[in-house]
Homo-oligomer: A and B are copies of this chain.
Amino acid sequence: MIVRDFNELKDGPRAVSDARWTSVRMLLADDNMGFSFHITILEAGSEHTFHYKHHFESVYCMQGKGSITDLATGKTHEIKPGVMYALDQHDKHTLRAEEELVMACCFNPPVTGNEVHQADGSYAPADS
């Protein structure tokens, strides 16, 4: 059994930051769960375009307010506590945080922790 506490990890090496977001890697590929699990915080007023071509991701809003636009359809959905979106089509999307967003994220395949966001908003495949 693995037990980890976000409040202990948020200031250590499992917390990674990029442009106006921070993500705490609660589970990574080497935990051998077959998925990874992350608590991600997006700054109030920030906007992010991501395109996970090689991963499925689900994101559950625990706190905050914002919106997500599916860039294939142009449709925008409200993000608030209790709303989950799942990128089952590797959907390219823009996420906007009106207020700071605190999200619980699952990735399949699991993130290794060594990926970086590429210029196109994707992570490289896990084996590259």
Q: Which residues of chain A have a CB within 8 Å of any CB of chain B?
A: 1-7, 26-27, 31-35, 37, 39, 56, 58, 60, 62, 68, 70, 73, 77, 82-89, 91, 93, 104, 106, 108-109
Contact = CB atoms under 8 A, between A and B. Distances in A.
Contacts of A83: 3-6
Secondary structure at the A interface, as helix, strand, loop or mixed, is: strand
Nearest to A4: B84
Contacts of A33: 56, 58, 86, 88, 106, 108
| Residue of A5, A26, A84 contacting most chain B CB atoms (<10 Å) | A84
B62 A1 contact: no
Contact of A35 (B5, B35, B85): B35
